[in-house]
């Protein structure tokens, strides 16, 4: 599919979403003859559709594609992958799981600033978790930044459900911010219980505060499915919707732990569509599939992403994947770890226009373990693509920021 066709599909989706409804637009995309366009495709124009790895605008063929890697404040005795979201421009919020299963968080205007703190205070009975935290940005309440924190409990029986809590980030001594603290106690999303790595949550939110939750579980026939649930922003309907199972995942592949989810297509009236991507595996072969959802239904079948090239070709996916959406570039960007490095590339529907690129930056070269955490669409200093990963040696977290979107080219 060439860039003109992809640009035409974008226009078709917009038109159909406005005139015929979102589902009609998505269905139209599934047919190569349903919509077409003749507008120029991938280019340096930030308003154009983009499918390709993010590049350094000053050296598009060079090795340094992000502005920097910098270590965050250390939190000893941590495990599993971190989570990251934003509290607005230039305010990053990160969370991770402590060695005993407690959740810790940090909020700072610079990745080397801030202080890690326990999400639940010591004078309460903290909930312990088996999964990494999942965190989503919520609309501010006055001067408070708000987030939702989710995780799958550790233990047995009812303790293994998925739990959620609303949290806050408040200003400390300017320009500092306190670490995230709970507002509401953790409550179960539903009564579904999980074992192994099932029920590990991924979450995204719309600008108005509607939250979509995704996780992998087993259906009544012991088949793996991705499930979704939605919690509306409306205070008159604050509960979680019933969970809905995805269509069958194409064989012979099986899913691997946690899906990745982000909102997207914000030019459509809410509920804004969420995009779920999963890494699947059969033997030593990995594939990436994506599907659209609004949190109460799935709007198409699983679509396999076109086999993507890596540099060098054939590089394996060694982690769960992460995904973020960007309004300015009208694209999703997907990340994963291969070996000890993190790679990224962008797509619109299911098409990669260029090989994946290593996330590299001037200065130290981190060696990573686990999966990256990402967030996008909100400016940090200049870039709207934020990446967080764990060092394979020290266990410290490294933060990277992209170059400005207005300068991104292929």
Please tell me the distance from the alpha carbon of residue 71 to that of residue 388, in angstroms, as a whole number.
9
CB neighbour list of residue 405: distance below 8 Å, 6 or more residues apart? 46, 326, 328, 329, 383, 384
> Count of CB atoms within 10 A of residue 125's CB?
8
pLDDT at position 37 is 30
- Find, among 322, 409, 389, the residue nearest to 70 by Cα: 389
Say whether both 165 and 272 belong to one domain: yes
Q: Note whether 47 and 26 are same-domain residues.
A: no
Q: What is the pLDDT of residue 32?
A: 33
pLDDT of 163 reads 98
Tokens of 320: 């769960």
Q: For residue 220, what are its two tokens?
A: 């009544």
Q: What is the per-residue pLDDT for 148?
A: 97
Does residue 68 sit in the same domain as residue 27?
no
The residue behind tokens 């946690």 is 258
Q: Are residues 359 and 335 in the same domain?
A: yes
Name the residue with tokens 């991938």: 42
Q: 17 with 79, same domain?
A: no
94 shares a domain with 30: no
Q: What is the pTM of this model?
A: 0.88
Q: Are residues 31 and 49 in the same domain?
A: no
Q: Do 246 and 121 belong together in one domain?
A: yes
Q: What is the pLDDT of residues 241-270, one digit of tens each?
A: 999 999 998 888 887 779 999 998 765 545
Tell me, yes or no, whether 136 and 190 share the same domain.
yes
Cβ proximity of 185 and 214 under 8 Å: no
Query: Is the distance from CB of 330 to CB of 346 less than 8 angstroms?
Result: no
Average pLDDT, the chain: 83
Predicted pLDDT of residue 35: 41
Residue pLDDT tens, the chain, 410 long: 333 443 444 445 444 444 434 444 444 443 332 343 322 334 444 434 677 888 887 777 778 889 999 999 998 888 789 999 999 888 999 999 998 899 999 999 888 889 999 999 988 889 999 999 999 999 999 989 999 999 999 999 999 999 999 999 998 876 789 999 999 999 999 999 999 999 999 999 988 899 999 999 999 999 999 999 999 987 666 799 999 999 998 888 887 779 999 998 765 545 568 999 999 888 878 889 999 999 999 988 999 887 655 544 557 889 999 999 988 888 899 999 999 999 999 887 777 777 888 999 988 889 999 999 999 998 887 889 999 999 998 899 999 999 888 766 54
Q: Which domain holds residue 188?
A: 42-407
Separation of CA 83 from chain center: 9
SS (H, E, C) the chain: CCHHHHHHHHHHHHHHHHHCCHHHHHHHHHCCCCCCCCCCCCCCCCCCCCCCCCCCCCCCCCCCCCCEEEECCCCCCEEEEEEEEECCCCCEEEEEEECCCCEEEEEECCCCCCCCEECCCCCCCCCCECCCCEEEEEEEECCEEEEEEEEEECCCHHHHCEEEEEEEECECCCCCECCCEECCCCEECCCCCCCCCCCCCEEEECCCCCEEEEEEEECCCCCEEEEEEEECCCCCCCCCCCCEECCCCCCCCEECCCCEEEECCCCCCCCCCEEEEEEEEECCEEEEEEEEECCCCECCCCEECCCCCCCCCCCCCCCCCEEEEECCCCEEEEEEEECCEEEEEEECCCCCCCCCEECCCCCCCCCEEEEEEEEECCCCCCCCEEEEEEECCCCCEEEEECCCHHHCCC
In degrees to the nearest 10, what's the CA dihedral of 224, 150, 130, 295?
0
Residues 15 and 119 in one domain: no
- Phi, psi of 13, rounded to the nearest 5 degrees: -60, -45
Residues 24 and 65 in one domain: no
HSE at residue 204, side-chain half, CA atoms within 13 A, is: 29
CB atoms under 10 Å from CB of 319, counted, come to 21
Quote the pLDDT of residue 2: 39
CA 326 to chain centre: 12
Q: What are phi and psi of 262, to 5 degrees?
A: -150, 155
Domain count, the chain: 2
- Torsion sign over Cα 391, 181, 123, 158: negative
Residue 128, CA atoms < 13 Å, CB-side half-sphere: 7
Let me know whether 22 and 134 are in one domain. no
């Amino acid at each position: 599919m060439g860039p003109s066709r992809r640009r035409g599909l974008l226009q078709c989706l917009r038109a159909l979403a406005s005139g015929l409804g979102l589902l009609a637009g998505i269905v139209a995309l599934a047919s190569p003859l349903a919509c077409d366009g003749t507008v120029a495709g991938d280019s340096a124009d930030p308003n154009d559709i983009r499918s390709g790895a993010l590049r350094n605008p000053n050296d598009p063929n060079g090795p340094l594609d992000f502005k920097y890697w910098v270590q965050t404040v250390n939190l000893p005795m941590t495990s599993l992958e971190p989570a990251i979201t934003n509290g607005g421009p230039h305010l990053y919020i990160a969370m991770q799981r402590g060695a005993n299963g407690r959740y810790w968080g940090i909020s700072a205007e610079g990745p080397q600033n801030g202080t890690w703190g326990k999400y639940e205070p010591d004078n309460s009975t903290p909930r312990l978790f088996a999964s990494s935290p999942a965190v989503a940005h919520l609309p501010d309440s006055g001067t408070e930044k708000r987030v939702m924190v989710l995780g799958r409990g550790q233990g047995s029986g009812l303790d293994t459900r998925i739990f959620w809590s609303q949290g806050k980030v408040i200003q400390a001594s300017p320009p500092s911010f306190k670490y995230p603290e709970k507002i509401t106690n953790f409550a179960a999303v539903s009564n579904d219980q999980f074992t192994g790595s099932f029920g590990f949550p991924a979450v995204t939110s719309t600008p108005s505060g509607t939250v979509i939750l995704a996780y992998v579980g087993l259906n009544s026939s012991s088949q793996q499915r991705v499930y979704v649930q939605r919690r509306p922003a409306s205070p008159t309907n604050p509960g979680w919707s019933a969970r809905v199972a995805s269509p069958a995942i194409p064989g012979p592949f099986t899913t691997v732990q946690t899906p990745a989810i982000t909102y997207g297509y914000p030019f459509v009236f809410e509920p804004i569509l969420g995009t779920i991507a999963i890494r699947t595996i059969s033997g030593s072969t990995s594939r990436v599939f994506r599907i659209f959802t609004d949190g109460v239904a799935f709007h198409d079948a699983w679509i396999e992403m076109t086999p993507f090239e890596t540099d060098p070709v054939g590089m394996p996916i060694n982690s769960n994947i992460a995904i973020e959406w960007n309004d300015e570039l009208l694209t999703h960007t997907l990340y994963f770890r291969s070996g000890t490095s993190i790679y990224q590339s962008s797509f619109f529907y299911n098409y990669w226009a260029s090989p994946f690129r290593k996330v590299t930056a001037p200065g130290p070269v981190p060696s990573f373990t686990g999966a990256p955490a990402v967030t996008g669409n909100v400016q940090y200093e200049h870039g709207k693509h934020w990446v967080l990963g764990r060092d394979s040696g020290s266990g410290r977290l490294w933060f990277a920021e992209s170059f400005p979107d207005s300068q991104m080219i292929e």
